[in-house]
Amino acid sequence: MARYVTTVRTPWTPEAAFAYMADLRHFAQWDPGVTKAEQAVGNGAGPGAEFDVTVRNGGVGMTLRYRTVSFNAPHHVLVVASTPLLTSEDRITVVPESDGGASVTYDADLRLSGPLRLFDPALGVAFGRIGDRAAAGMRAALNAATPVR
């Protein structure tokens, strides 16, 4: 299992930060590992929403279908993508701050399936580097002067 957790402080309101992060169509704006993110089911973030997120995988694009399995705006969303090779669970939690801004925690858990689990330690190292780049992009997006749409 590979896990990456980061928390970013933003001047955006909790509602604005949650709306931006929970709508996975924004992934490609802040995560350099994502080449494309499109709505597959629904219209924006919400219960039952699904998104096709294409990530770079060794120079080749791999599309994952993320399904929203838990949604409690503007506090928490859990999206899960599952293939025969792996399962990715991404949790976004937004906590209001006393100055009107928010803290956004992104918690990503990636698990290989079946015999591929033997490679989990190596995946953890690579996932850390990928997560660091995504965290930097998330920090830049959430600290823009106005919420990105």
Ranges of each domain in the chain? 2-142
Q: Is 77 exposed, middle or buried (0-12, 13-18, 19+ CB in 10 A)?
A: buried
Identify the CATH assignment for 2-142 out of 3.30.530.20, 1.10.10.10, 3.40.47.10, 3.30.1120.130.
3.30.530.20
In the prediction, which pLDDT does 60 show? Answer: 74
Q: Which of 113, 105, 107 is nearest to 139 (CA)?
A: 105
**Percent of the chain whose pLDDT exceeds 90:** 62
Rounded average pLDDT over 21-47 = 94
pLDDT bracket for residue 120 (50, 70, 90) = low
In the prediction, which pLDDT does 17 show? Answer: 96
| SS3 category, 43 | coil
pLDDT bracket for residue 112 (50, 70, 90) = confident
In the prediction, which pLDDT does 3 show? Answer: 82
CB 35 within 8 A of CB 55: yes
In the prediction, which pLDDT does 119 show? Answer: 56
Among the ranges given (31-35, 40-44, 112-116), the one the predictor scored with the smallest mean pLDDT: 112-116
Q: How would you label 36-57 residue by residue, b for 16+ Cβ within 10 Å and e otherwise?
A: ebeeeeeeebeeebbbbbbbee
| SS3 category, 83 | coil
pLDDT bracket for residue 121 (50, 70, 90) = low
pLDDT bracket for residue 110 (50, 70, 90) = confident
pTM: 0.88
